[in-house]
Amino acid sequence: TVSRAASNTDVRDRDLASVFHSWSAQGKISPLPIARGEGATLWDHDGNEYLDFSSQLVNVTIGYQHPKVIAAIQEQAAQLITIAPAHANETRARAAELILSHAPEGFSKVFFTNGGADAIENAIRLARLSTGRDKVVSLYRSYHGNTGAAIVATGDWRRIPNEYATGHVHAFGPYLYRSEFWAETPEQESERALHHLERVIQAEGPASVAAILIESIPGTAGVLLPPPGYLAGVREIADRYGMMLILDEVMAGFGRTGEWFAFDAFDVRPDLITFAKGVNSGYVPVGGVVISEEIAARFDDDVFPGGLTYSGHPLAAASIVATLETMAEEGIVENAARLGRDVIGPALRELAARHDVVGEVRGKGVFWAIELVSDPVTRAPLAAADMATIKSQLVARGLLPFIADNRIHVVPPAVVADADARRGVAIIDEVLGGF
Ligand code: PLP
């Protein structure tokens, strides 16, 4: 049972005494205690209210405590709380069917994992086994998870202290605001980033490359919408050299962009799709790989050398079924698209026009980034100390932000009320007024 009597101070002290935190110097953190939530709102133990503009780690797309999903998890718990992956289970089959119903033609199977990182591990494994090749090319501006291959496929700083897996190569992807290619238009950025990617692959030896692995829209790296033709061009390169294309939809997938899969908005078809987060809004840990018919068929006679005790856990499966049904019934994906088009996008563009500290805003659906700069001409990123001040000022005003480097990511649940979405942007507006 949840202790109602605990105070923020009690909970924080006990947490710091016994919980070892992700990505942290343990002595330098002060985690915000959270007691309960509903929709897009959270409350701490002292009764303070927070509007969640982070969806935690950009996963709580349907908001906290959706009653239909909670009920489905409770019903599954009452009927059969756990069962090994080797058994057939109706809830698990239904979860796979529903996921496949949102994938393009030609995808036939789902392999369930415990989260996003092991989805990446298994997608890489499938690509290596299907091609008989070893290397994986991914982008510097990316995050793919914190397990063996996934963290080395990751491009950002978190890769560097973890480089134990082999066979990983990186390239720069398109990012016009900070172009690596001296591009001035989205078309130039797209063409030059594709040229660079192909040159990296040629220099690595295309016959050694199993897969190109990219986030359909790089998320933690800054909500970097691919320019026209980029994803289709990556597909062409993969085809030209017989490589698999893995699209990582862990953050962008299942509604965040206003599409079921982020790549639905682009002219591209991957061979493998990784998912997690939005598929069940993180109610139970789960992820997985959606596998094309051709790749799945390779394992009709040959053994797939992979598996997990909790692959397709019934509580996770029940939460997926209820989440995907609820999202369809309540039009949550369409609402994400509308919020981006009619509410968040216009509000953020006005914000950008009012503040020199805003270098660029970009995004779609409930997936946006505000890029902050100390100088709009040189585009120098706002300093880390200023970002920390901004974060604490936002939290003090009751807004929970997702901050990455010099950016505020505006990534609320897709069920946030229009008035709350505007109120959150108004809080950001007020805080940026001081910079
Ligand atoms: N891939 C992407 C695009 C992600 O954003 C993340 C997590 O943020 C992962 C993979 C890893 O997922 P998990 O933290 O569930 O292992």
Distance (Å, whole) CA 365 – CA 353: 20
Q: If you write DSSP's letter for every residue of 343-369 in order, what string do you get?
A: IIHHHHHHHHHH-TTEEEEEEETTEEE
Q: If residue 189 lies in a helix (H) or strand (E), which one and from where to where?
A: helix 186-204
pLDDT for position 298: 97
- Report the share of the chain in percent with pLDDT over 70: 99
Q: Are 66 and 246 in contact (CB under 8 A)?
A: no
The CA 433 to ligand 1 mean position distance, Å, reads 33
Q: What is the mean pLDDT of residues 126-139?
A: 98
DSSP state of 219: -
Residue whose Cα lies nearest atom 11 of ligand 1: it is 145
pLDDT for position 2: 54
pLDDT in tens, 342-356: 999 999 999 999 999
Closest CA to 204 of 167, 242, 166: 167
pLDDT for position 82: 98
Banded pLDDT at 427 (limits 50, 70, 90):
very high
Main-chain dihedrals φ then ψ at residue 23, nearest 5 degrees: 50, 35
Banded pLDDT at 289 (limits 50, 70, 90):
very high
The verdict on the CB of residue 115 being under 6 Å from ligand 1 is yes
Ligand 1: which of 54, 124, 141, 144 to mutate, judged by most atoms within 8 Å of the beta carbon? 144
Number of H helices, E strands in the chain: 14, 16
pLDDT in tens, 381-390: 999 999 999 9
DSSP state of 279: G
pLDDT for position 308: 98
Structure ipTM: 0.99
- Does the pLDDT of residue 428 top 90, yes or no? yes
DSSP state of 226: P
pLDDT in tens, 185-208: 999 999 999 999 999 999 999 999
Q: Are 136 and 149 in contact (CB under 8 A)?
A: yes
SS3 289: strand
Burial class (CB in 10 A: 0-12, 13-18, 19+), 50: buried
The CA 222 to ligand 1 mean position distance, Å, reads 14
Taking residue 134's Cβ as centre, other Cβ atoms within 10 Å add up to 15
pLDDT for position 191: 98
pLDDT in tens, 311-366: 999 999 999 999 999 999 999 999 999 999 999 999 999 999 999 999 999 999 99
- Does the pLDDT of residue 302 top 90, yes or no? yes
Span between the terminal Cα atoms of the chain, in Å: 44
Domains of the chain: 34-65+331-432 (3.90.1150.10), 67-329 (3.40.640.10)
pLDDT in tens, 258-286: 999 999 999 999 999 999 999 999 999 99
pLDDT for position 317: 98
Banded pLDDT at 4 (limits 50, 70, 90):
low
Distance (Å, whole) CA 65 – CA 350: 33
pLDDT for position 336: 98
The verdict on the CB of residue 143 being under 6 Å from ligand 1 is yes
Q: Are 177 and 359 in contact (CB under 8 A)?
A: yes
Rounded to 5°, angle at Cα 106 from 102 and 112: 60
Distance (Å, whole) CA 260 – CA 110: 16
The verdict on the CB of residue 215 being under 6 Å from ligand 1 is yes
Strand 135-139 relative to strand 168-171, pairing: parallel
- Does the pLDDT of residue 1 top 70, yes or no? no
pLDDT for position 198: 98
The beta strand positions in 14-153, using DSSP E, are 36-38, 41-43, 49-52, 107-113, 135-139
Q: How far is CA 414 from CA 55, 195, 243, 317, in A?
A: 9, 36, 35, 21
pLDDT for position 186: 98
Q: What is the mean pLDDT of residues 19-45?
A: 97
The CA 115 to ligand 1 mean position distance, Å, reads 8
Ligand 1: which of 54, 59, 143, 249 to mutate, judged by most atoms within 8 Å of the beta carbon? 143
- Does the pLDDT of residue 221 top 70, yes or no? yes
Strand 107-113 relative to strand 287-292, pairing: antiparallel
Who's near 359: CB < 8 A, 6+ residues apart?
177, 371, 372, 373, 376, 379
- For the chain, percent helix, then strand, then coil, each to nearest 5? 45, 20, 40
Tokens 């789902």: give the residue: 110
Cut 0.95: pTM above it: yes
Closest CA to 129 of 118, 119, 121, 117: 121
Closest CA to 410 of 376, 361, 354: 361
- Does the pLDDT of residue 5 top 90, yes or no? no
**Residue 379, phi-psi category: left (phi > 0), alpha (psi -120 to 50), beta (remainder):** left
Residue whose Cα lies nearest atom 13 of ligand 1: it is 116
- Report the share of the chain in percent with pLDDT over 90: 99
The verdict on the CB of residue 169 being under 6 Å from ligand 1 is no
DSSP state of 301: T
The verdict on the CB of residue 347 being under 6 Å from ligand 1 is no
Banded pLDDT at 108 (limits 50, 70, 90):
very high
